[in-house]
């Protein structure tokens, strides 16, 4: 036995599972729970922080908004949505879409602790919204300028909250991590399994 979780076949009449995200990471993580063929339905919402919004509240709000947006397009389905936010103090670090942003994020995270908030929301056809939040503390080593530039050149940072992907070479920057590794990747598996089971999905 490899210790993995076996997939559980859906019974007739089981609700369809919709993953409200186009993230390959979330699909890969969901497969670890045996859920290998969800319908993918990416949502297009405004992810700008509200005035004064802190990282924790931002992640929770966006996960719920994504779930509600997907439910409009997939009535009758169980919707799973998530959002991951990197916070340095009360500051929300952006998703890096260019090298300058990624470089600034890594410089801010260098040699210090930060928190990763990974929120999930599960919305069932009867309108019940279940929510959970994973909070993980990550500490990076002090990064040399050459290390930052080498990471930028590798391109793993693109589209990632805080300008890094823990599942890639940035894990080599991590001195320690307290919390959920899968949460830092984008989908906290303990919380996800708990909420999907509560929503009636059959998961071993």
Task: Give the rounded distance of the alpha carbon of 74 from its chain centre.
Answer: 21
Give dist(CA 59, CA 53) in Å, integer.
Answer: 10
| Active-site annotation holds for 98 | no
Give dist(CA 100, CA 76) in Å, integer.
Answer: 43
Give SS3 for 85: strand
Backbone CA torsion sign across 12, 18, 23, 29: negative
Which CA distances in Å does 24 have to 20, 49, 52, 100?
A: 12, 24, 31, 24
Could you say which of 14, 44, 46, 83 is catalytic?
A: 83
Q: Give the DSSP letter of residue 38.
A: P
In sequence order, which residues have a C-beta less than 8 Å from that of residue 204 and are 6 or more positions away?
5, 6, 7, 8, 34
What sections of the chain are H helices per DSSP? 24-31, 55-73, 99-109, 145-154, 181-185, 189-198
Q: Report, as residue numbers or ranges, the catalytic residues.
A: 83
């Amino acid at each position: 036995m490899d210790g993995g979780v076996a997939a559980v076949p859906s019974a007739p009449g089981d609700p369809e599972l919709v993953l409200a995200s186009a993230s390959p990471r979330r699909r890969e993580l969901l497969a670890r729970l045996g859920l290998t063929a969800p319908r993918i339905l990416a949502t297009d919402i405004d992810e700008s922080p509200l005035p004064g919004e802190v990282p924790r509240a931002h992640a929770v709000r966006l996960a719920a908004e994504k779930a509600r947006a997907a439910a409009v397009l997939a009535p009758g389905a169980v919707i799973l949505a998530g959002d991951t936010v990197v916070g340095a103090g009360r500051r929300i670090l952006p998703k890096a879409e260019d090298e300058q942003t990624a470089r600034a994020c890594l410089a801010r995270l260098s040699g210090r602790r930060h928190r990763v908030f990974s929120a999930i929301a599960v919305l069932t056809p009867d309108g019940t919204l279940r929510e959970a939040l994973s909070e993980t503390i990550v500490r990076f080593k002090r990064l040399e300028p050459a290390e930052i530039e080498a990471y930028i050149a590798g391109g793993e940072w693109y589209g990632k909250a805080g300008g890094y992907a823990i599942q890639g070479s940035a894990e080599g920057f991590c001195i320690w991590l307290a919390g959920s590794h899968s949460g830092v990747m984008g989908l906290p598996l303990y919380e996800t399994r708990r909420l999907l089971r509560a929503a009636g999905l059959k998961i071993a």
